């Protein structure tokens, strides 16, 4: 089954002194997904932002908000971000004592639920719950910081995941996050991904309007 492709710009790389303007440029009037990287300085070494920012953005823009929780433990923040307006929530299986319970918690708030897999986390980790997930987030860099280089072996992992989903006729999307740029996005798409998290390649480009439109066009062509 062919799935619709979505661009999910990550505001981790945005200029927060000019955030409203950049949100307008990248998200206003389109179906781009707003990707929020939530880090706690515990599960990962970096510290980013909390539910308050999520709520502020939700009140300003109608776009889908995709929250990637790089935190441990996860359950208390699942509730907070769901109440702040998140539409999609993913977390790392290593960060939950009871993964199935955390999945059901996300669903109880009416949010789409996904599991995020680090580069070293095998696909076997999610085999028993893949059928109840809305999406899998493949990390193509190690989590914790933006502007990292894409790990090439991720392409094969995406291909294997796509085969697992197709073979079992699961209604599960594949999201990829980390180091996506104009030189690798096509092969990531061909491998089976349909949600593309792009950060520095948009927000740190010379022209974020043109860069955003470029990536939006390329994932929806062919």
> In sequence order, what DSSP letters do the residues of 122-147 get, joined into one string?
-GGGGTTTGGG-SEEEEESS-TT-SS
Residue 145 pLDDT > 70: no
Tell me, what's the pLDDT at 222? 59
In a domain, 1, yes or no: no
Q: Is the dihedral of CA 149, 153, 157, 158 positive or negative?
A: positive
In a domain, 16, yes or no: yes
Domain count, the chain: 1
In a domain, 131, yes or no: yes
- Residue ranges making up the domain that contains 125: 6-219
Q: Active-site positions?
A: 37, 177
Tell me, what's the pLDDT at 146? 60
In a domain, 138, yes or no: yes
Closest to 106 (Cα-Cα) out of 98, 114, 118: 114
Residue 66: give its domain's CATH number. 3.20.20.70
Each residue's pLDDT tens digit, 50-62: 999 999 999 999 9
Each residue's pLDDT tens digit, 103-125: 999 999 999 999 999 999 999 99
In a domain, 122, yes or no: yes
Token pair, residue 70, equals 């790089």
In a domain, 187, yes or no: yes
Confidence of residue 131 (pLDDT cuts 50, 70, 90): very high
């Amino acid at each position: 089954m062919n799935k619709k492709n979505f661009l999910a710009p990550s505001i981790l790389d945005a200029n927060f002194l000019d955030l409203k303007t950049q949100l307008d440029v990248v998200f206003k009037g389109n179906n781009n997904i707003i990707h929020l990287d939530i880090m706690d300085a515990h599960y990962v070494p970096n510290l980013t932002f909390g539910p308050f920012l999520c709520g502020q953005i939700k009140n300003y823009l109608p776009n889908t908000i995709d929250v990637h929780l790089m935190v441990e433990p996860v359950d208390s923040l699942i509730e907070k971000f769901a109440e702040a307006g998140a539409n999609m929530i993913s977390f790392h299986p290593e960060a939950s004592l009871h993964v199935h319970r955390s999945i059901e918690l996300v669903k109880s708030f009416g949010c789409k639920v996904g599991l995020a897999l680090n580069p070293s986390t095998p696909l076997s980790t999610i085999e028993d719950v893949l059928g109840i997930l809305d999406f899998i987030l493949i990390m193509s860099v190690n989590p914790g910081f933006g502007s990292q280089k894409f790990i090439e072996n991720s392409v094969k992992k995406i291909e294997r995941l796509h085969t697992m989903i197709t073979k079992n006729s699961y209604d599960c999307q594949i999201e990829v996050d980390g180091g996506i740029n104009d030189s690798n996005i096509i092969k990531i798409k061909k491998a089976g991904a349909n949600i593309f998290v792009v950060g520095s390649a948009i927000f740190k480009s010379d022209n974020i309007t043109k860069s955003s439109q470029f990536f939006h066009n390329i994932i929806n062509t062919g």
